[in-house]
Structure 1
Amino acid sequence: MDAKTPAAPVLVLAGPVTREGVRRLCDDMRRLLAEAGARTVVCDVGGLGPPGLGAVDLLARLLLTARRAGAGIRLRDPDPALLTLLDLAGLPFQVEGQPEQREPPGRVQEAVEPGDPPP
């Protein structure tokens, strides 16, 4: 990120999440995207508590809300069990600090020229 790129807004999620809480958080997501003009919102999921289907439902609804606004979500501090549940549900989430799924991680690639001796 350079000086011209604004930081993504952060939505802090704390559990346990109720149905009314899901509605409120979806409204918060829409507001953050509109106010910041952001293409991505970071969802801090460290405070959600034990991973379960309620957390999966919440994140699925937040992802749908973001996508409807033409944006995406990155997760901050997810529990490995939550990531497993999201993967089993088929929900594609980026985790903060990891390369995007569409982009391979940066690596050094060595080219071999014809006639070079084997290493």
Structure 2
Amino acid sequence: MNNVASILILAFLALTFLQSGYEKIFYWNDNVTWLKEHFSKTKLKNHVPLALGHLLIVELISGILCVVGGIQLFTNNGREFGFYGAIFSCISLLMMLFGQRLAKDYDGARTIVIYFIPAVMAVYWLN
């Protein structure tokens, strides 16, 4: 098995984004309330539910593609689904990074970079 590192990163990304999507779906109102306060001094303050909905969709696409990509990589060494899962993961993280920087939450932005590094590694390895 030559793809262990790639499969592990895809599993990490899948868990990250599927769990995040789950929390957004089942705790929608709590998330919207918290984020409205978080973005109260930004241009996003009146668009939080719409922005959160867009992020939710991209996160779910990311997580599903990473699961399918990990299975594909394990079963037949195919890289297409994992590659696109990694790309969508990077897009999700860039969306979050933009929001954190807009809200001037630099600690939150720094945390997102920690997730971005393995996502970019996955894009590189699966390309």
Q: TM-score under structure 2 normalisation?
A: 0.27
Q: Which has the higher helix share?
A: 2
Q: Which has the higher strand share?
A: 1
Q: TM-score under structure 1 normalisation?
A: 0.28
